[in-house]
């Protein structure tokens, strides 16, 4: 497998990002509905915004894919919204970088559930200081802040990690994703 990105891989990554940009914009309604319940329960849905990088990497396990996917999804989200948002781009870039760090630790060779969960967790963790910078987090009571952080991390692990893993696993079953990975021994045995 070549280390550089091919045009087809970049195009598929951007297509995935566009799909997630639309999903991200559609998620604001359920996010706001759950937010009305209080106790930061909306943070349990927040992992959806970390999925583009994880899904893209699980399909195309190469350096830079998660960063490209998150950046393109963030940029697409601002385009779909119809307003340019620098904070959205900052979130996207840092979340993509957090995922890339996890994938680099495993030398871009593992597509395991654990790696997907760690990437989702890393994206959640990196988003927290940005919330402090742009948001109201300095004024939140300690117990409420703990709920916020714990729920965000759980969401990163469950939604961005586990859900992404099983989405890609389902795509693998269809054979669509085989174009981006070398054939395995099982593939040769099936011939």
Q: Which residues contact 59 (CB under 8 A, 6 or more apart)?
A: 12, 16, 168, 171, 177, 180
- 182 occurs within a structural domain: no
- 56 occurs within a structural domain: yes
Positive/negative CA dihedral, 108, 112, 118, 124? positive
- 171 occurs within a structural domain: yes
Q: How far apart are CA 148 and CA 161, in angstroms?
A: 18
CATH number of the domain to which 56 belongs: 1.10.1760
Q: How far apart are CA 51 and CA 46, in angstroms?
A: 10
pLDDT for residue 1 is more than 60:
no
- 164 occurs within a structural domain: yes
Which range of residues forms the domain containing residue 146? 7-175
Neighbouring CB atoms inside 10 A of 26's CB total 12
Q: How far apart are CA 49 and CA 23, in angstroms?
A: 9
- 13 occurs within a structural domain: yes
How many structural domains compose the chain?
Answer: 1
Q: How far apart are CA 109 and CA 53, in angstroms?
A: 16
Q: Which residues contact 89 (CB under 8 A, 6 or more apart)?
A: 71, 74, 75, 78
- 170 occurs within a structural domain: yes
Residue 185 pLDDT: 63
Q: What is the pLDDT of residues 31-69, one digit of tens each?
A: 989 988 888 899 999 999 999 999 999 999 999 999 999
Q: What is the pLDDT of residues 131-153, one digit of tens each?
A: 888 877 888 889 999 999 999 99
- 67 occurs within a structural domain: yes
- 190 occurs within a structural domain: no
Q: The whole model's pTM is what?
A: 0.89
């Amino acid at each position: 497998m070549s280390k550089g990105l091919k045009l087809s891989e970049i195009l598929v990554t951007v297509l995935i990002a566009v799909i997630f940009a639309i999903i991200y914009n559609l998620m604001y309604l359920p996010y706001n509905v759950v937010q009305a319940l209080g106790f930061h329960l909306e943070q349990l849905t927040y992992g959806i915004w970390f999925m583009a990088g994880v899904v893209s990497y699980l399909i195309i396990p190469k350096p830079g894919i998660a960063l490209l996917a998150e950046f393109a999804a963030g940029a697409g989200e601002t385009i779909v919204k119809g307003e340019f948002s620098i904070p959205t781009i900052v979130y996207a870039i840092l979340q993509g970088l957090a995922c890339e760090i996890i994938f680099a630790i495993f030398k871009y060779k593992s597509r395991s559930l654990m790696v997907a969960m760690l990437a989702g967790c890393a994206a959640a963790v990196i988003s927290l200081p940005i919330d402090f910078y742009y948001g109201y987090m300095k004024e939140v009571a300690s117990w409420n802040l703990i709920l916020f952080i714990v729920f965000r991390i759980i969401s990163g692990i469950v939604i961005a990690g586990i859900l992404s893993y099983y989405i890609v696993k389902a795509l693998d079953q269809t054979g669509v994703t085989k174009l981006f990975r070398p054939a395995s021994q099982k593939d040769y045995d099936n011939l």
